[in-house]
Chain A
Amino acid sequence: MQESGNHRWGMVIDLNKCTGCGECVAACKVENNVAIVGAEESEMDRTMFWMDIITTHEGEYPDTEVTYFPRPCFHCDNPPCTKVCPVRATYRNDEGIVTQIFPQCIGCRYCMAACPYTVKSFNWFAPDWPEEMNSSLNPDVSVRPVGVVEKCTFCIHRLQKAKELARAEDRELREGDYLPACSESCPTDAISFGDLNDPHSEVNKLAKSLRAFRMLEELGTEPKVYYLSKVE
């Protein structure tokens, strides 16, 4: 692993391995206290997912090819969302993570309009969980109030915890110390995560694979989430 500060965190998702089970979506919801939106609001496109699954169909029935694209925030190296934020509630940090500072957000939603991948969600209402679930919220992630934008943070709280632990044990951060909830929970190991700057990391090698591509690469946003295309 590289010295702290030289990291460039990224993700590689193998479409061959993804079965579309939705485990990553559920893990993300629970880890990050993402609000559950009812059917009525969902119909108005107000669903809230930090990790979503986009499903594509190719071919005519019965020879249909279904592909599942798990879709987190792509944490672009050249992010359009941060450039339009008037209050610096979202910015790209030194390690390439595009963070979202909820108490700073004024809810103007410029970033939502700027993001070509539509990864951001707006809190139209104050989040509401059944009483019994309140004690199961993750204390490491704040519950967002009404009127702010939110999105995947690559579980940055896990990075900070991993760094703290590594420093407390007087050692370098090792590969696998820091994994977002989606990557950790994937039952088929379709989601790899690590340091793209580390020449020995799995993601570094996978990102250089001939199968690797990124969403809407032509826009020049330089996403740090790579997909490995499906092969027979």
Chain B
Amino acid sequence: MHDIRKYLVTLVKIMAIFMLWGSSWAQESFQPVQFNHDYHLGDLGLTCLDCHKNAKHQERASIPNIDICSECHEDEFDNVEADKVFEYISFETAIPWKRVHRVPDHAYFSHRRHVQLGEIDCIVCHGDVEQMAAPFERPFVNMDMNWCLDCHEKSQISDECSDCHR
């Protein structure tokens, strides 16, 4: 009986260590600012293109930085994350966003081709961003070639190799 108790206590200790480690790990955020898409899109009524300004007319969508954030964040807000943004703006330091969506070097992707010419909604590739309270840590889908070709075949779009590989 004593052995079982000792065993259980050890097990609980191990579990506690794992839980503590897990929670401390979770607190370390992947992105420098816990940007809230839900608030900006839902509550404030912004659109994706208000901040990702190049998504429609350029190949690269552009990740917004202090030049765009400062259009609204002129003062401190009653929010820790917004204060972080204000601090970056005050010190004129770029927010070191970590890039999450990346196609391999041997593949070429153009936002203009998909957003403007293909008229594809952002959510098709990036998920329901409007519901996201935290920034991206990983892509919404695994953007591999099969995933690209699935959509190209369904939409009867060219699948010529040189359109994407060069």
Question: Are B165 and A102 within 8 A (Cβ)?
Answer: yes
> Which residues on B sit within 8 Å (CB–CB) of A156?
162, 166
Q: Name the distance in Å between B55's Cβ and chain A's nearest Cβ.
A: 13
Determine whether A130 belongs to the interface, using a CB cutoff of 8 Å to chain B: no
Query: Is residue A215 within 8 Å, beta carbon to beta carbon, of the partner chain?
Result: no
Q: Decide yes or no whether B92 CB sits under 8 A from chain A.
A: no
Question: Is B157's beta carbon under 8 Å from chain A?
Answer: no
- In chain B, positions 146-166 with a C-beta closer than 8 Å to chain A are 160-163, 165-166
Contact in complex: B110, A164 (CB < 8 Å):
yes
A58 to B165, CA, bound (A): 43
Which residues of B have CB within 8 Å of A94? 160
Tell me, yes or no, whether B142 is within 8 Å of chain A by CB. Answer: no
Q: Are B112 and A168 in contact (CB under 8 A)?
A: yes
Q: A142 CA to B110 CA in the complex, in Å?
A: 14
| CB-based contact A103/B106 at 8 Å | yes
A46 CB to nearest B CB, Å = 22
A143-B162 contact given A168-B57, A168-B116, CB 8 Å threshold: no
In the complex, the answer to whether A167 meets B117 with C-beta atoms within 8 Å is yes
Q: Mark B67-102, 1 if CB is under 8 A from A, else 0.
A: 000000000000000000000000000000000000
Contacts of A6 in B (CB 8 A): none
CA gap between A101 and B108 in the complex, in Å: 12
Interface size on A, residues (CB 8 A): 21
Give A85 Cβ to nearest chain B Cβ, in Å.
12
Please name all residues of chain A whose beta carbon is closer than 8 Å to the beta carbon of B162 when the two chains form the complex: 93, 97, 99, 101, 153, 156
Bound complex: CA A28 to CA B162 (Å):
19
Answer yes or no: B3 CB below 8 A from chain A CBs: no
Residue of B nearest to A103 (CB): B106
The answer to whether A104 and B166 touch across the interface, beta carbons within 8 angstroms, is: no
Interface residues of A in 68-104 (CB under 8 A from B): 88, 91, 93-94, 97, 99, 101-104
Closest to B105 in A: A142
Enumerate chain B residues within 8 angstroms of A91, measured Cβ to Cβ.
Answer: 161
Docked pose: A68 CA to B133 CA in angstroms: 63
Interface string of A92-127 (1 = CB under 8 A from B): 011001010111100000000000000000000000
Interface residue B113 (Cβ < 8 Å from any Cβ of A) = yes
Please name the residue on chain A nearest to B112 by beta carbon: A164
The 5 residue pairs across chains A and B that have the minimum distance between CB atoms = A99-B162, A142-B106, A103-B106, A101-B161, A101-B165
Q: A101-B162, A103-B106 are in contact. List 16 more A-B contacts (CB 8 A).
A: A93-B162, A99-B162, A99-B166, A101-B161, A101-B165, A103-B107, A104-B161, A142-B107, A142-B108, A143-B105, A157-B166, A160-B163, A164-B113, A164-B117, A168-B116, A168-B117
Q: Give me the interface of A with B, judged by CB distance under 8 Å.
A: 88, 91, 93-94, 97, 99, 101-104, 140-143, 153, 156-157, 160, 164, 167-168
